[in-house]
Structure 1
Amino acid sequence: MNNKAQYIKQRLSLRVPLQEALDVVVHLAGKLELQKDIYLAAEIEKVKSHFPSCVDFERDFPSLCFSIATGVGKTRLMGACIAWLYLEKGIRNYFVLAPNLTIYEKLIEDFGNPNYAKYVFNGISEFVHNRPVIITGDNYNQMGSLFKDSEIRINIFNISKFNRDASAANRGKEKGMAPRIKRISEYLGESYWNYLSNLDDLVILMDEAHRYHADASKSAINELKPVLGLELTATPIDEKGNPFRNVVYEYSLAQALEDGKYVKNPAIATRKNFRPQGLSEKEVEIIKLEDAISIHQDTKNELEIYARNNKVKMVKPFILVVCRDINHSTEVFNYINSDAFFRGAFKGKVLQIDSSTRREEEIERQFVDLESLDNEIEIVIHVNMLKEGWDVNNLYTIVPLRAANASVLIEQTIGRGLRLPYNGERTGVDKVDKLTVVAHENFEKVIEAAQDPNSVLNKLSYIEIPEEDLSTKTTVVTSVTKVEKEMQEAEKRIDAIQNKTRKQEARNSYDAKKLILDVISSPEIAYQTKGLKDYEKKEVQAMVIQKAIEKLETGQQSIFKEEIKTELPKVYQATLVEVRNNTIEIPRMDLVQDDVEVWFENFDLNTSRGFEFQAMDEEIIRRGLKHNEVDTIGVQQGAFSRETPVNQIISELINYPEIDYDENAELLHKLSIQAIRTIERQVEEKGVLQVLVKQYRKIIAGKIYDQMKANFKIGEPDYIEPKVLPFVRIEDWNFSALANGYKDYREVVTPAILIPKYVFRGFEKACHLEYKFDSKTEKDFSYILENDRKVQKWLRPAPNQFRIYWKNNSKQYYPDFVVETEDCIYLVETKMLDQVEVSDVISKKAAAQKYCKYATAFTTANGGKPWKYILIPHNEVTQTTGFDYFLRFIED
């Protein structure tokens, strides 16, 4: 393992495919000469012997192609390669080619701006004080005087720069002159082009490499005479449709979809029971566009909920509509931009991209800007204008209106929307990770095409959307805590006050209360206490008020600052009482599992079958070349055969990755001895056993290993004792709601299957005023909690309220309810009766019980209530049941 490569993998957090690709570079860089004027045929043979897919460099220098699916991180791989070639090989000069202006500008940021979120060298300490110098197609003429022997130089050029300079040199005032890059530079004493081509360590990296196989591009690149070329593309096919012949590594779209980590999960959608018969082409298009809006709105809501719940950046999705031609594109644009389409809701929110609109570079900029939350565009209409290399991650819905072969259309189209918005990896939330292609009339054809195992469509999922879902309008709702809701109501009451003096006094009091609430709910202050009781102490009160004053001084200035300061002590006690009356104190902890224990159980070897062996004669046969005479020589036993039979078998057993000698030495010796004794009973001659075991040692070890596998056990990992911190705040709930989908929790909803669609209100004991429920059982349980006099407070915890992990820390557990009574706090889960004993439910129960154990230790030590966990079968929950009845399900 190369230490420098390992260092780079860790520092740059390279994904597995990129790690594998870097390993290929490391391996081949150790075989190739990395010099100018080398014998290419010999170099290609070196590569071919390790990677048979590479049969020709296709250039005048060694050039290796990496075929990597869109969205996996080709730019980061380029950064890793540059870092390794510099750190390991001392190579300081690089030339990065971009296929268009937008990617050119992006690469300058990626390689040259340490403050940029996607800076490729982030974490490489050697580049902190010796930052690579970025030389571009715009500043190369002024950089010559700055060159130093110690610096890393990365030249970034747009391929069209060559073409434009060459074209300018053949027209107008510059006619007959060499392109600018080939003219003599006063700083260098030669042209920059000559300077580059004379470097003895120039490495060229080609982003979207399929763009540089045309004769003009290929010739220009060959003139640079680099010592090595690294080509990156998701489509290793040249302009004539021929596959590249220098591919050394491939991580295809099909592989990425199979792995399910680095690209969106593409799905084909149609309306349930859709029948195109009797509909005109235009009518089908309108239905598809309208259904796309329904999918888009649903996705938009889910993205907003995810962002709020996880406190991450908001992502604004958009729809891509693929049209037949420019006329069709204009017609669709005019329709979507009119009152006829959703009553004009998308006027000014549509972007048309085709050759009739703007120049390509402007189109690229507009398209990239679609990620900005300030950009109002929600629908993009295009006709084959989206080139490779688009770096947008918020395309979520695609509507192909262009007639084409189903598999070709979909395969070409889904690549536009596969990038993921959150660190380039799936979140585990289905709708946040899903790309939807609306294909009503092509649905059956797409499914048929997907039967081909070689098609990426084989990895697609299929969705039939019920018509009632398409007509349902939903919005995102944030259910704030009861304390926050009261603040909102108080602000409305203040706005209604007519007397200016009274209004300002009320505003000052309100602002003071808000400052107190902000400070109390901040971890900085909460973690200096043991819970809400501590806020009664004078020293804690003084600390809170002082922090509130600091926030007032540093925040937005108010001319009533002094008056607000005076109000702080006055409102402190009432604010604290309100918080305590409407809060359940939930300790903060990260409950994670320890490493899983694995072992082989002790057992006796079954030797009744499979351990019968016959020793083979061991002779050397010698044949003369001239007269073909043959003689034999007996084999003398060397040092290896002096190893005991038992040790020979153990040496083979420890080659299996699961078997650790130190942990299993006793069992290995026992089983090997049992095998040897069985074999020994078959041997009559002295000394034959040693030879027989040597001949069959791998087979004997394999038979023992097979039986060991049957006795291989994986333990249930225990939980690491967490650091328990005091309560900070009750988190807000975020969920989607129907436009008019609000009901009182006491209302009967029929059929019960509709319950998850509604938001329920009317709660008095809950910490929030609005909740959604997944089932009738949960709704009925809320009714019990509201109406049982022994229940003081309760809540449905938001997804980020607890951090309880299970299934080897791969999943997070979200409890259904938290309930507080006079003497205890309960973590409650309701489950279908037939699910109570399912292994996943049992694992989550064990995690919740651990949480309760550690929470109890913390709260009781600080004057609080103990925690207990209750798992309740659904058939036990009726609105007439008292809460005490459920205490029977507690397991101590």
Structure 2
Amino acid sequence: MSDLKVDEHLLEEVRHRLTLRTPNYQAVESVAYMMSQHYDVEERQEPFECIVDSATGVGKTYIMAGLIEYLAGIDTPARNFLILTPGRTIRDKTVRNFTPGDDKAITSSMRSDPVVVTADNFDSAAIAKAITDTSKTKVYIFTVQALTKPDTDAGRATHDYQEFLGASFYDWLGTLDDLVILADEHHCYRGPAFSRTITNLNPELVVGVTATPDSRDQDLVVYRYPLAKAIEDEYVKIPVLVARQDDRSDDQTKLLDGVTLLKHKERVSEAWAAENGVMPVRPVMLVIAQTIEDAETYRDILDSASFDSGAWVSKTLLVHSKLSGDDKEKALAELDAVEDPSSTVRIIISIGMLKEGWDVKNVYVIASMRASVSEVLTEQTLGRGMRLPYGKYTGEQMLDTVEVLAHEKYEALLKKRQALSQSMVDHRILTQVRTTGDGKKVVRKKTEEVENPFEDQPTPAPQGGEVGFLVSEEPVEHVQSLDDHLKQIEEWAKDIPDEARTHLPLPDREPIRIPYVQRVAQAQAVSLNQVHEMKPFEDLGKALKHEAGDELIRTALKAKGGQIKGQKAEDTVEALHLDTPLETSRRGLIDRVMKVKGVERRKSELNAAGSIVDTVLEAMGDTAAENLSAYFDRAARRLESEVSKQIRERARIDVVFDDRVQTADLDKPRIARRKHEADHTDTFERSLAYNGWEKNAYEYAWFDSSPEYKTAGAVDADGNVVVWARLHRNDIPITWTQEGREYNPDLVVIEAVDDKRTCWLVETKMNKEVTSAEVTAKKRAARTWANTVNNSGQVDGRWQYLLLSEDDVNDAAGSWAQMKDFGQ
């Protein structure tokens, strides 16, 4: 064995000359080192084959250019590079990328000065001369079909005998001892025909480049740069999944949502470009249809005077594989020019032609009108909108994101892609247009939890630049018993330094009565209090109210021509309904919920079951008694199934609390070692303790962050708030891990609206922290805590948990009511 032979100085030169992004340089570097390992260290003879798994939108073409420059510049250079593409769209794009003078060319800094050879020109006199010139670097750009299928029009030319080569072009390639094959979108052609082609050509190196490698090829991957990391590193746009808060999901509504976002983005783009002295990018929307008929329907909607006052008439482009002749040429020309400022195309409707290789930068909205059918299609479709139109992040949120109006199954497909796991597995991102407290309309991101499919998998430390999940090494905090905790409160003030100021609750403020519960030690305990999300039960109720019809479904079996056929009976018969009282049905549903496997028959669980059933009944509305009289068993089975599903998802990871509740007034002394301000103003300083509160349980309060301070101000000014307090350590300790770690929310707020008392636990977080695994786990634990307390029957008022992001607090502009609307 010999040493590695990698020209590090040449690699650095190529990096700087081509201005390669860090991940693209690392990809080139990885291939160079692994190739040297294969040939120089291990002294293997067979061709070296590998895959670069690079996120869509980061720049795979630059990886190929970097490899060409490096391998053409080493001491024993390669002069023959074959780029294989899965189809004509990517082939034509790649030809433009390597053709000097083209506005898509990336060759201006390529010292190798490659000659581009294609199926259209390889037998021309000038190109034929270059092909046989061993001093020139050649880049052969062909579809894979042109080499693997000699019996087709595409492949026949490459397999016909060429006199100037003394062989067919394909056979001649196989004689080269320096052939490098770069397989673009490698996952598209890994079958037997491709394997035979590679074997027969006997290349020196085969590099597959793709964002979605086939699962069977994972061992070939030498470099992976997942999309989550590309988003984190700001090389691509941030995907934003858009949803409505109402139930409207018809095509016209979804398209209207899309053009609304498109117009908003165009205004922001024009303003930002004018401010920065650059040409504005005109955003476009990509509409993904399932069939040509669907696509034509969407075009007719968009291209009508009745849709959005005719704003999109003659601005749509329909592209699909069945276009032919002049229509096809015209559509492809318009598609190719969609980035041109003079283009009138603002909306592109596609069925299947734009999965890969269409690399414009101004797609800002993707409307997936039907469910995507495969994981590859999902990421490739998403990738059409990931590229940065201004080359880098602008700092304007609307210009650095791509909006995805997704079918309900779209997010489930995104979850499966490991490359997205860091940013889209434990939460999903949606957007909403909200009105701030001062009347301004803003667009904000909103996060919602989704199940993490990697939750139960072991977590290896990341290696070789991979994105991994780190297991915290932080020591587990000591878990106190409830008696010890209450004793600590009583003993709290004994060791107060002389220079500290002590504050006790104000006698004229209503005391805050705090409930305390303890975690159930059993890791596998199941509780209905873990069910926080009621929307599935609301949806179930809405579905069930349609179950009872006025007419029996009757099918008559009639004989004709020796066959028995079924058809609807002529006479209609009104359905007879049992007159079961609603309360009887309610008790029956609660009993069925309590029989779900793992649910214990305790008072807290019974009350929680009642809350779930009441949610279903409320959604059923006035028809609940009638529907349940007719279809009780059907409704009960579906309710049992949904309850079982929810607690099954939570039981393995969530904390469960005992339903025995002890209460105590919040009267612990507050010790302040900081400057005391007589009032609170708009300016926040962490080092100050503030006075001037109208409803704070204590005279002074101090805070860790500006969002906490602003929230306190909004709470104190709200007319419905009775009393509130800034929580300190051990005021309301909520256990949030099975190991017993505890945390305290930021504020407790007691309000009374129409004699209805609500007790809020409020937590504020910076935007970047809201979706973290720790904050998500704490939120789940706090909601389980609140459900346990509420369903115990031992407290006055209803306890609720509210998580506020920095944006939520700022957008509310001092309104506690709007904070409650915006928060989670």
TM-score normalized with structure 2 length: 0.48
- Normalising by structure 1, we get a TM-score of 0.44
Rg bigger for which structure? 1
